[in-house]
Each structure stands twice: as structure tokens, then as C-alpha cells.
Structure 1
Amino acid sequence: MTQTILITGASSGIGKATAQLFHDNGWNVIATMRTPENDTELSALKNVLVTRLDVTDSATIASAMQAGIDKFGKIDVLLNNAGYGAYGPLEAFPMERIRRQFDTNVIGLIETTKGVLPHMRANGAGTIVNISSIGGQMTFPLGALYHGTKFAVEGISEAMHYELEAAGIRTKIVEPGMIATDFGGRSFDFVNDEEMTEYQPVVQALFSRWGSPDAGANASPASLVAEVIWTAVTDGTNTLRYRAGADAVELLDNRKAADDATFIGGMKAQLGLT
């Protein structure tokens, strides 16, 4: 029987590339997004259902899953991909935007997972793939909110790895490095208050680094992450973590090898903050 994957955040970037890859490999795809009416490509593909799912809207989670089951019979894999990054001095963020970051990247992931687990338990099988980041195991300045959510995804996923195994359900974490997607555009939320003068040297240093000509030199295409997701889903192992991109491998190896003072000192030196 043809297998089915449900993908959140499939309108662009990693989600869209993964939908295309799984479709090309003969899978049924439930490609979900907040504005499915804007899609012109995935909806034209056979065995792809494009439907609305906003991870902050409980009703859309339930309806998207039911629509997928009604069309394809079951859901074998859930890819929790929807998310965005909030950066800036923590003090400058209003609480409603802080809550939005955690509601999207953490609570939304949890609720979507909870929504599919009864179905997978009844089938005695399934795979949950959660998109984390190198930012789930290391941090950059001004990323308290984004990194907080991705560290949470790592902990949630690792704990789930234990408990879901008894139900025949695998849990996987994919950790991309820098990816050539629109993360710096609509998937990026930056807040600053220039009157908080103490934070401005860090803000300027970070944007100088991100705006440099070589900032995206090591960025991997979204298709590379899709291939890592494909491996995580199909390799038949209980491996928990998968890195995506040469920079992810290098940075996470360096972080693992360094103590806190060494790593933080190196980061500050790179940004000219020493």
C-alpha cells in the first residue's frame, strides 16, 4: 500500500521541497499550509492533497488530518516543519510576539503531534519527524526566543523517542544548518529598540556578520534537507538525530567538543564583541 506523509509548512522552502521529493518517490502527500489558495504547483500533482493547516489553530489541525485520512486512508509520517525565527533583544519583544514564537514552534508542534498519535497507535506504526536546527544545540546572540523553541523541540523529541517506541512509532529530529530558504524574509521576525543602547553593539555586530558577502556561502538548498528527511523516514533505523548540511556537521561537532567558555568566546571573537 502506498504510504502517506503529512507536512506542515509546505508552501515553500523545506516543506515544499520535501513534498516534491516524496511525491517523486511515489508517496501520497498531504501538503498543508496556512493559505492553500495561493498554491499553484503542489496542487497540480497527482496524489498530493493541498489543504489548510495553521499550527496555532486547533480546528485546522483536526480538519487537515481528517481530510488526509479520508483521501488516502491513513497517515504514515508526520513532518513537523512549520515554524519561524524571532530574533532581537529579549527585553524589546512584547509578550504577544514571544507567545507567538512558542505557540508556533513548540505548542503547534505538540498539538499537531497529539492529533496524529491516536491514528498511528491504532495502526501500530508511524514516524514523527521534527525539524529542529543547529540552533537547537547551540546559540547565536539575540536568539533567546528562537533557540528557546528549538532547544524545546530537541527535548520534546528525545523524550518522545522513548515513549512512542513501545507503540511502534519512531521519532526523528532533523537539524539543518544554514539553508537557502526565505527564513530571512517572511519566516524571520526581528525586533529591536534603538533606545535600549546597551544592546546595539550586539545588534550591529550580528547584522554585519549576516549581511557580509560570504554569509550565505555555505547555505544548503532546501532539497538537501528534504533528502535528509527522506533518509530519516526510510532508513529503517531508530536513529534519533540527523544533521543536514556540511556547516551543521562542523558547527555541532565544534560545539560538542568545546566547553561553554571556549565556544562563547569563539562566537564573540567572530562577531568582534571581545
Structure 2
Amino acid sequence: MSKKVALVTGASSGIGYAAAIDLYNAGFTVYGAARRMDKLKSLEDKGIHIIELDVTSEELMVKSIETIINNEGRLDILVNNAGYGSYGALEDVPMEEARRQLEVNVFGLARMSQLALPHMRKNKFGRIINISSIGGKIYTPFGGWYHATKFAVEGLSDSMRLETAQFGIDVVVIEPGGVKTDWGIISADNLIKTSKNSVYETSAKETADKMRKNYSGTQLSDPRVVSEAIVKAATVKKPKTRYLVGMGAKPAIFIRKLVSDKVFDKIIKSQM
């Protein structure tokens, strides 16, 4: 029997990079995809196939799936990991940037799933693993558009799971907490840029400083914690619908369920 085939989007760094390697080590034929091919070169050196992919480009999305099917004849695992965090007060973020955040984090994920599903149905097997966040269950100031995308991924995944189960396809959500990647630094930089000369500038700077300190420290989880959950979701006979992993993830969700909105607001303000 031929190896199962996995595609990981956003594979040039962080969680996606670790997932591509761990899936390869678990015996999958792996395709790592991202916008910048130069960032994928080290994956290729390890035996992983690489593909140029921008999840805002219909042409590249279609081409990525066609390439895999032409080469392998199948696609078993799709890890929808591509995404970013665009931070800023709702009043400050241009609608063009808000639309781009949705385009990458939600519509790109949805379109990649649309393209993969016919091939999974044909084989009566498939796993679509969507990388969400605890930010799909909780909220922070200045993260409105990012949280909107992750809340959307949660709902979209739940509906897709019910629709595709009849074809032997599982839809799994991974909800990372604090993970040591460049995500937080990039988001903090975006927040400072967006809030310049804004009425929110002072509070935004305080939040950005805390984000940078947090993501520059040593308390956050290694991306491997998340990639290990991805491999588990890809390999076990009956995967969970959700995997809550990474620093602070389980306590944050537990507290959110336990306390009122106003109490949770105070907790979040004290942290951010």
C-alpha cells in the first residue's frame, strides 16, 4: 500500500514547519507549502516536497492540489495552517486589511478544503486538520479581526465535520495556546503601526510591549507540542474533534467557561 499523503500550508516556519517534519517522520509523503520558496528549502533537504502557495491566490491553490494528485494520485491529510494575526483597534484597522485577514485565515482555509474534499471522497478517507487557536474561544483587546477569523474557523469546522463524516472524512480543530513562534512579534509590530497617532496609541503600545515580552520569553510552548497533536490527529483511528494544546490553553478555556463575561474582561485586561 502506498504511503498516505499530507499537505501542510504555511509550512515555512513555526507550527507548519514542525508539522511537515513530524508527519514525514511518521511515514507520510509530505508536501510543505508556503509563499516563499526560499524558506522551504530546508524542508526539501529533509526529503519533503515543497510547493509555492498563497492562499489568497486561486491559481496557486488549484495548482497545489493538482500537483499533488498528478504526482501521488491521492491526498489524505490537509493541514490548514496558513494564517497570521492582524492587530489593531476596530476603529483603526482599514477595511482592506480586515478583508485580507479574513481572506487568509478563513476563505483560504475554506477554499483549500473545497479543493481537497473530492479527492478524499474518492478514497473514502481523509483528515482535514484546521489550525485554530484559543483565540477562537476567547478574546483580547486589539485582536478583534484576528479573533473573528478564528471564531469563524471553529464554526466552519464544526459544520464541515457533520457534512463530511458520511464520506469517511474527519475534520479536526487544533487550538494552540501560547506557542514560541514569530506570530506574536509580528502581531505586536502590526499593532504599533496601525495605532500610530490614534486615540488608542498609548494602550496599544502597552499591549504590544506585553506581547513582545511574552513572545521573547521562555514560557511559551515549543511548536512541536502542536505538531505532535497534528500527527496524532492524522494517525489515530478515531481522532478527537478538538485538541487543546500549548501553554495556558486548557486553563484559559476552563476559566472562560467558569466566569461571567465581565469577570473575564477584567482578567484579560489585567494580562494585556
| Secondary structure class of the residue paired with 2:50 | strand
1: CA distance, partners of 2:174 / 2:230 = 7
Cα deviation digits, residues 57-93 of structure 1 (max 9, x gap)? 0111111111112222211000000000000111111
Aligned to 1:133: 133
Which 10-residue stretch deviates more, 37-46 or 83-92? 37-46
Aligned to 2:208: 207
| Secondary structure class of the residue paired with 1:166 | helix
1: CA distance, partners of 2:91 / 2:218 = 32
Could you tell me whether the CA contact under 8 Å between 1:141 and 1:202 is conserved in 2?
Answer: no
Whose helix fraction is larger, Structure 1's or Structure 2's?
A: 2
Give the superposition deviation at 1:205.
3.1
Aligned to 1:89: 89
Aligned to 1:124: 124
2: CA distance, partners of 1:162 / 1:107 = 19
Could you tell me whether the CA contact under 8 Å between 1:49 and 1:68 is conserved in 2?
Answer: no
2: CA distance, partners of 1:206 / 1:150 = 20
Cα deviation digits, residues 74-123 of structure 1 (max 9, x gap)? 11000000000000111111121111100000010111100111111111
Output the aligned Cα RMSD: 1.8
Match of 2:194 among 187, 192, 195: 192
Identity over aligned pairs, percent: 37
Could you tell me whether the CA contact under 8 Å between 1:19 and 1:29 is conserved in 2?
Answer: yes
Aligned to 1:224: 225
Could you tell me whether the CA contact under 8 Å between 1:218 and 1:247 is conserved in 2?
Answer: no
Code of the aligned partner of 2:172? K
Give the superposition deviation at 1:213.
6.6
Aligned to 1:76: 76
1:17 correspondence with 2:13: no
Seen in structure 2, the aligned counterparts of structure 1 residues 213 and 237 have a Cα distance that, compared at 3 Å, is closer
Give the superposition deviation at 1:201.
4.2
1: CA distance, partners of 2:215 / 2:13 = 24
Seen in structure 2, the aligned counterparts of structure 1 residues 187 and 230 have a Cα distance that, compared at 3 Å, is farther
2: CA distance, partners of 1:112 / 1:167 = 18
Could you tell me whether the CA contact under 8 Å between 1:36 and 1:50 is conserved in 2?
Answer: yes
Give the superposition deviation at 1:208.
3.8
Code of the aligned partner of 1:29? V
Could you tell me whether the CA contact under 8 Å between 2:87 and 2:145 is conserved in 1?
Answer: yes
Aligned to 2:35: 34
Seen in structure 2, the aligned counterparts of structure 1 residues 114 and 230 have a Cα distance that, compared at 3 Å, is same
Aligned to 2:181: 181
Seen in structure 2, the aligned counterparts of structure 1 residues 222 and 269 have a Cα distance that, compared at 3 Å, is closer
Code of the aligned partner of 1:85? G
1:168 correspondence with 2:168: yes
Structure 1: gaps spanning 5 or more residues = none
Could you tell me whether the CA contact under 8 Å between 1:83 and 1:187 is conserved in 2?
Answer: no
Code of the aligned partner of 1:155? G
Pairs aligned (count): 269
Code of the aligned partner of 1:207? A
Code of the aligned partner of 1:105? N
Seen in structure 2, the aligned counterparts of structure 1 residues 249 and 110 have a Cα distance that, compared at 3 Å, is same
Give the superposition deviation at 1:200.
3.2
Give the superposition deviation at 1:241.
0.8
2: CA distance, partners of 1:213 / 1:19 = 26
Structure 2: gaps spanning 5 or more residues = none
